[in-house]
């Protein structure tokens, strides 16, 4: 029980940093501490959050998914093209999410059945998705579909979807055998196999789940921008991985929590909001700040690990 | 029991296949002309444009052999290009100074990565992620968010000039290969790198200075990336902090792995890395000369990555190919 609490320490640290950041920002800017700003924070970063939830599952299982950014670009172009061809909005969403899940399933199968390195398989997936998006359309496409317009203008849809998927994710990760298998495979694949856990099935499902989450993220991004652009979501896979690491997930797998990832996404979002509130700071300070924050959290994790290795 | 072929052999066969396709279907692919004392032709283009990836991939080979990975290559390319462009536009610095400073910056960034990995024991992917994320921000900070264009003949000649008829980048890449190969095969460094990648603890107990070895590998990678950055910004006579070297680290890793160095560390092959870089560029050049729309480039690359991965997977060859042969 003690070990369980200790493994959650980084999440508490992330929460503390988030509260600290919001408090500091609220003291500095009059209108920062309001429900609207918080809701906007969730809405502006919902697509990143959705992708990051999937990526966290993959990282927990000891893998990595580099394809989520390209998935966001692909899903936007795919939906826009379908709707321009007369397909109703709900069908376009369903098809996009189904296809995204299928692509994830394919990548997972390659990783699980042929023992290919996840880094390279999902890199190929990234090239494939980005490439297919460009093949469909090199130019940005407008989305006029009434369903997308309505959902896109709503304040509640994107945050609601994010929180719903998060809760579903937490249920899967912490209260289902599937989640225990994910943590076990990430902790030590050999042991998981010897314990009789379905290692291959777990791996395949984890990538499929990531495909599902990131394609849903792409749909939300399409709501948000009301357009499909093959180049959107560039380097988003990095932000997703960074959010997971800031949230206390270890890239070696087996340790981490989905709530931490949400906090990581919120911290990234807060940095961006603060820099836009400040006005005089240029956008590139965001990247530098994220880099420094990553460094700080890595240092923190290192301290926890050092504490743990004494009592294995 | 049949011994499986070395992965580099598969990579080399793949490259030959690619060349054979071009021999059959691309007229003039193998023709090399001499104009103004310089060679011209598709093959020379392949060599020329594979140079930046190769320079980054040489150091990456060592890093991957130590069981690490360096994700910051693209950011180092952007920073080195920004530094060089600033020096010639703001300070009219002569070329040797520009090269020395850029390479120095690359060395410092490489040492920073190496320090995080070897001394602080942070996982390589996370340690280099820090510089990958913030590096582009630093480059943008340097250039104030602008694309800096320059006319300086010295810096332009890094990619534009030629030596003995070969474009300068090819010469630079060849020198880089020679230096890294000498370092890896004529000194104990190469053996130590393999020892660290195979079993770090055992290497440490055997007296290998594991920390210094890792530090060295990341330093070589930083220097290689900085030189690649000089070439990249010299091609376009501009430093673009946002896009210079974007995803170059992925191409470099791809070249290393396609060439037969496993991501699990240990044995490495520099020849394989050269073949890997050539495969990537031959593929791109083939697509361009065949008149395939550019948007298909990434799709073809994806298929090529998967094909190389699957060919090198014993699991795949045993199950799928063997079944096909038996039937």
pLDDT of B149: 81
Half-sphere exposure of B109 (CA within 13 A, CB side): 34
Which neighbouring-strand residues pair with B167? B162
Write down the pLDDT at residue A309.
47
Q: Is the pTM value of this prediction over 0.90?
A: no
CA distance B137 to chain A (A): 5
- State residue B259's pLDDT score: 86
Mean pLDDT is highest, among B30-34, B49-53, B313-317, for B49-53
Which residues of chain B are within 8 Å of residue A71 when distances are taken between CB atoms? none
Minimum-distance CB partner of A135 among B123, B250, B295:
B295
Of residues B327 and B118, which shows the higher confidence score? Answer: B118
Would residue B239 be called left, alpha or beta, if left means φ above 0 and alpha means ψ between -120 and 50 degrees?
beta
Q: Do B136 and A287 touch (CB under 8 A)?
A: yes
d(CA B296, CA B189): 41
Q: How far is CA A265 from CA A24, A238, A304, in A?
A: 18, 12, 22
pLDDT: which is higher, A36 or A73: A73
Topology (CATH level 3) of domain B40-291: ABC transporter involved in vitamin B12 uptake, BtuC (1.10.3470)
Instruction: Answer whether A284 sits within 8 Å of B130, measured CB to CB.
Output: no
- Spans of all domains in chain B: 40-291
| B220 and B110 Cβ atoms separated by less than 8 Å | yes
Q: What is the pLDDT of residue B210?
A: 84
pLDDT digits (tens, 9 = 90+) for A5-31: 556 777 888 888 888 888 888 888 777
Give the dihedral sign, CA B99/B219/A127/B277.
positive
Neighbours of A127 (CB within 10 A): 26
Give the gyration radius of chain A's Cα atoms.
19
Question: Is residue A311 scored above 50 in pLDDT?
Answer: no
Model pLDDT, residue A2: 43
* Gap between the Cα atoms of A280 and A301, Å rounded: 33
Report, as an integer, the average pLDDT of B33-43. 77
**Contact between A241 and B129 using a beta-carbon 8 Å cutoff:** yes
Q: Please, which residues 266-325 of chain B have a Cβ atom closer than 8 Å to chain A?
A: 293, 295-303, 305-306, 309-310, 313, 315-316
- pLDDT given for residue A312 in this prediction: 33
CA distance B291 to chain A (A): 15
The confidence score (pLDDT) of residue B5 equals: 65
Taking the C-alpha atoms of residue B320 and residue A193, their distance in angstroms, rounded to an integer, is 23
d(CA A80, CA A61): 33
- Identify all chain B residues contacting A66, using CB atoms and an 8 Å cutoff: 250
pLDDT in tens, B60-113: 999 999 988 898 998 999 999 999 888 888 877 788 888 899 999 999 999 999
Q: Where are the alpha helices (DSSP H) in B26-94?
A: 42-65, 73-90
pLDDT digits 0-9 by tens, A143-165: 888 888 888 888 888 889 999 99
Measured in angstroms, the CA of B60 and the nearest CA of chain A are apart by 15
In angstroms, what separates the C-alpha of B91 from chain A's closest C-alpha?
24
What is the per-residue pLDDT across B281-321, written as a single tens digit (0 to 9) for each? 888 888 877 777 777 888 888 888 888 778 777 777 777 76
A111, pLDDT greater than 70? yes
Q: Looking at CA atoms only, how far is residue A21 from chain B in angstroms?
A: 19
B121 — contact with chain A (CB < 8 Å)? yes
A289 by Cβ neighbours in 10 Å (0-12 / 13-18 / 19+) ranks as buried
Name the residue facing A282 among B69, B145, B301 (closest C-beta). B145
In the predicted model, is pLDDT for residue B211 greater than 50?
A: yes
Who has greater pLDDT, B43 or B273?
B273
B313 and A298: CB-CB below 8 Å?
no
Across chain A, mean pLDDT equals: 86
Q: What is the pLDDT of residue A100?
A: 95
Please, are residues B74 and B246 in contact by the beta-carbon 8 Å criterion? yes
Residue of A253, A284, A297 to mutate, interface with B, max B Cβ within 10 Å: A284
CB A66 within 8 A of CB A119: yes
ipTM score of complex? 0.80
Tens of pLDDT along B134-171?
Answer: 888 888 888 887 888 888 777 777 777 778 878 888 88
- Asked if B133 and A134 come within 8 Å (Cβ–Cβ), the reply is no
Phi, psi of A311 (to 5 degrees): -120, 85
* Residue range B235-292, pLDDT digits in tens: 888 878 778 878 788 889 888 988 888 888 888 888 889 999 998 888 888 887 777 7
Backbone angles phi and psi of B290, in degrees to 5: -80, -5
B141/A238 Cβ within 8 A: no
Domains and CATH numbers, chain A: 10-23+35-304 (1.10.3470)
Quote the pLDDT of residue B326. Answer: 63
Q: Give chain B positions within 8 Å (CB) of A74.
A: none
Answer whether A297's CB lies under 8 Å from A12's CB.
no
What pairs with residue B149 in β-bridges?
B238
Q: How far apart are CA A226 and CA B186, in angstroms?
A: 59
Residue-wise DSSP of A187-214: H-HHHHHHTT--HHHHHHHHHHHHHHHH
A-contacting residues of B 155-214, CB under 8 Å?
none
Q: Is pLDDT of A178 > 50?
A: yes
Question: What b-and-e string marks burial along B135-150, b requiring 16 or more CB atoms within 10 Å of the CB?
Answer: bbbbbbbbbeeeebeb
Taking an 8 Å cut-off on Cβ atoms, the answer to whether B309 and A294 are in contact is no
Work out whether the CA dihedral B224, B226, B228, B231 comes out positive or negative: negative
d(CA B256, CA B267): 12
pLDDT value of position A94: 93
pLDDT, tens digit, 9 for 90 and up, residues B213-242: 899 999 999 999 999 999 998 888 887 877
Q: Is residue A122 scored above 80 in pLDDT? A: yes
Q: Where are the alpha helices (DSSP H) in A34-143?
A: 35-44, 46-60, 68-84, 89-114, 118-136
Mark which residues 238-257 of B lie under 8 Å from A by CB: 241, 246, 250, 253-254, 257
- pLDDT reported for residue B28: 74
């Amino acid at each position: 029980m003690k070990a369980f609490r200790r493994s959650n320490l980084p999440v508490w640290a992330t929460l503390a940093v988030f509260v600290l950041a919001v408090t500091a920002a609220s003291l500095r800017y009059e209108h920062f501490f309001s429900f609207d700003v918080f809701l906007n924070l969730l809405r502006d970063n919902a697509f990143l959050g959705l992708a990051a939830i999937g990526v966290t599952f993959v990282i927990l299982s000891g893998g990595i998914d580099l394809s989520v950014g390209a998935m966001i670009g692909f899903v936007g172009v795919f939906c826009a093209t379908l709707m321009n061809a007369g397909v109703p909005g709900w069908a376009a969403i369903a098809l996009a999410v189904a296809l995204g899940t299928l692509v994830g399933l394919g990548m997972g199968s390659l990783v699980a059945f042929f023992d290919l390195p996840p880094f390279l398989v999902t890199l190929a997936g990234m090239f494939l998705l980005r490439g297919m998006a460009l093949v469909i359309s090199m130019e940005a496409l407008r989305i006029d579909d009434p369903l997308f317009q309505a959902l896109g203008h709503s304040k509640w849809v994107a945050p609601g979807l994010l929180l719903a998927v998060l809760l579903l994710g937490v249920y899967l990760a912490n209260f289902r055998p599937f989640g225990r298998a994910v943590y076990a495979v990430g902790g030590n694949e050999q042991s998981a196999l010897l314990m009789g856990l379905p290692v291959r099935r777990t791996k395949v499902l984890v990538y499929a789940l990531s495909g599902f989450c990131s394609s849903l993220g792409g749909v939300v991004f399409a709501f948000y921008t009301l357009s499909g652009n093959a180049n959107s979501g560039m380097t988003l896979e990095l932000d997703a991985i960074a959010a997971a690491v800031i949230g206390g997930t270890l890239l070696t797998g087996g340790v981490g929590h989905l709530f931490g990832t949400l906090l990581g996404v919120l911290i990234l979002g807060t940095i961006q909001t603060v820099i836009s509130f400040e006005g005089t700071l240029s956008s590139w300070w965001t990247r530098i700040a994220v880099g420094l924050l990553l460094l700080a959290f890595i240092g923190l994790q290192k301290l926890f690990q050092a504490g743990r290795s004494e009592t294995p | 029991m049949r011994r499986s072929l070395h992965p580099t052999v598969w990579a080399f066969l793949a490259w030959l296949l690619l060349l054979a396709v071009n021999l059959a279907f691309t007229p003039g692919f193998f023709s090399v002309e001499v104009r103004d004392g310089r060679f011209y032709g598709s093959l020379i283009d392949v060599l020329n444009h594979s140079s930046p990836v190769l320079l980054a991939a040489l150091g990456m080979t060592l890093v991957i052999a130590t069981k690490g990975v360096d994700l910051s290559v693209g950011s180092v390319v952007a920073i080195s290009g920004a530094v060089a462009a600033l020096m010639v536009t703001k300070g009219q610095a002569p070329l040797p100074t520009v090269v020395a400073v850029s390479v120095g910056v690359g060395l410092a960034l490489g040492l920073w990565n190496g320090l995080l990995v070897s001394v602080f024991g942070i996982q390589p992917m996370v340690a280099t992620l820090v510089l990958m994320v913030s590096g582009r921000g630093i480059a943008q900070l340097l250039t104030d968010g602008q694309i800096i264009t320059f006319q300086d003949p010295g810096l332009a000649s890094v990619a534009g000039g030629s030596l003995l008829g070969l474009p300068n980048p090819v010469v630079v890449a060849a020198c880089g290969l020679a230096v890294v190969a000498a370092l890896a095969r004529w000194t104990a460094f190469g053996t130590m790198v393999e020892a660290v990648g195979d079993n770090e603890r055992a290497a440490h107990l055997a007296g290998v200075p594991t920390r210094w070895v890792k530090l060295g590998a990341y330093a070589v990678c930083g220097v290689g990336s900085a030189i690649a950055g000089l070439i990249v910004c010299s091609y376009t006579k501009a430093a673009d902090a946002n896009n210079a070297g974007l995803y170059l680290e992925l191409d470099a890793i791809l070249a290393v792995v396609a060439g037969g160095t496993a991501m699990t560390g240990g044995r490495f092959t520099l020849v394989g890395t050269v073949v890997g870089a050539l495969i990537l560029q031959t593929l791109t050049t083939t697509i361009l000369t065949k008149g395939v729309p550019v948007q298909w480039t990434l799709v073809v690359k994806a298929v090529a990555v998967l094909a190389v991965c699957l060919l090198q997977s014993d699991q795949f060859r045993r199950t799928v190919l063997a079944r096909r042969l038996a039937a």
